[in-house]
Amino acid sequence: MHIKVDHFSLTTHLNYSTTHHTMETTKLQMDMHKSNSWLYYKLGIHTLGLVLRSGITITSPDPKADAKLQVTSGVHHGGTLKVIVAGLPRTGTMSMKHAVEELGYGPCFHLAEPLCQFDNLRKSAAIVHTKDTALRRCKLATLFQGCEVTLEVPGSACLPDLLEMYPDAKVILTERTSAAVWLRSWRGFGIDLRSDCFRWVGYWVPGMVAANDLYRGWMQLLAERLGVEAEPSEELYHAYNA
């Protein structure tokens, strides 16, 4: 009887110990899961905050890169640029690119061809957000170095700069049949490249944030130069082509 009691006591103790250990393990696992969940939650909130802030935050030019550019580029604005296609976007600039290439001019600078010019997108965005004229021209000279033709952005917003930088270059102004046709073509994108929606949807896609920065800055710089509202409009079209 004594042995049975001891055996029962031992068995009971072992069962209790096993149950207690299982409960402790389960609790530990729950605590670990809770910690991981909290970590994922914090990371999710932080990431969401970055994405939302990106919708209103323009990528600023890098002061260190600007200082280096000023030292290396100095005031030299010469270069190989021979043709400036000064038309607004959606005025047949891609067709004009192919035409000047047929005539033997090249390389051509056009952000739509070839695709995936992520570095040029970032540099172009920095240019249109650079307020200092001398510094902006240094950046333009660096961007177009080695090119004989420039088309569309960022050049169309910086046309006064380019005309002084390359006084011997030929200028071609591409137009649509009317301002209304141009505006319909611009809106034919289906989404405004300057919008928060475009920026948020394309946040994780390489080049999309830079493209958004570029078109926001391009439109703002153009509007300031022309004295019109910073929105695609028939008024802007007429003022630019006047």
Alpha carbon distances (Å) from 111 to 18, 72, 156, 221, 240: 68, 25, 13, 18, 21
Q: Which residues, 6+ apart, have CB-to-CB distance to 120 below 8 Å?
A: 109, 111, 143
Higher pLDDT, 12 or 132: 132
Question: Residue 152: helix, strand or coil by DSSP?
Answer: coil
Residue 11's pLDDT band (cuts 50, 70, 90)? very low
If one counts every other C-beta atom within 10 angstroms of the C-beta of residue 163, the result is: 13
Q: Which pLDDT belongs to residue 36?
A: 57
Q: What is the spatial distance between Cα 80 and Cα 17, in angstroms, rounded to a whole number?
A: 84
pTM: 0.70
Torsion-angle region of residue 152: left (phi > 0), alpha (psi -120 to 50) or beta? Answer: left
Lowest-pLDDT range, 24-28, 90-94, 118-122?
Answer: 24-28
Per the document, the length of the chain is 242
Residue 172: closest CA among 142, 145, 149, 141: 149
Decide if pLDDT at 216 tops 90. Answer: yes
How high is the pLDDT of residue 19? 44
Q: What is the mean pLDDT of the chain?
A: 79
Q: Is 167 helix (H, G, I), strand (E, B) or coil?
A: coil
User: Where is pLDDT greater, at 48 or 106?
Assistant: 106
- Assigned architecture for domain 83-241: 3-Layer(aba) Sandwich (3.40)
Cβ(203)–Cβ(210) below 8 Å: no
- Output the pLDDT for position 7: 41
| Sign for the pseudo-dihedral over CA of 219, 223, 226, 228 | positive
For residue 204, the model assigns a pLDDT of 84
Other CB atoms within 10 Å distance of the CB of residue 138: 24
Tokens of residue 230, six digits: 């910073």
Domain regions of the chain by residue span: 83-241
> Which of 158-172, 197-211, 225-239 has the weakest average pLDDT?
197-211
Return the HEC string of 97-151.
HHHHHHCCCCCEECCCCCCCCHHHHHHHHHHHCCCCHHHHHHHHHHHCCCCCEEE
pLDDT digits (tens, 9 = 90+) for 44-76: 555 555 544 544 445 556 666 666 665 444 344
Cβ-based neighbour number of residue 67 at 10 Å: 11
Q: d(Cα 234, Cα 181) in Å, to the nearest integer?
A: 9
The residue among 22 and 203 whose pLDDT is bigger is: 203
Using the predicted structure, report yes or no on whether residue 162 has a pLDDT greater than 60: yes
112-142 pLDDT tens trace: 998 889 999 999 999 999 999 999 999 999 9
Instruction: For the chain, give the percent of residues with pLDDT over 90.
Output: 55
Give the per-residue pLDDT at 142.
92
Of residues 228 and 32, more confidently modeled: 228
CA gap 212, 222 in Å, rounded: 15
Mean pLDDT of 97-112: 95
CA angle 89, 168, 179 (to 5 degrees): 25
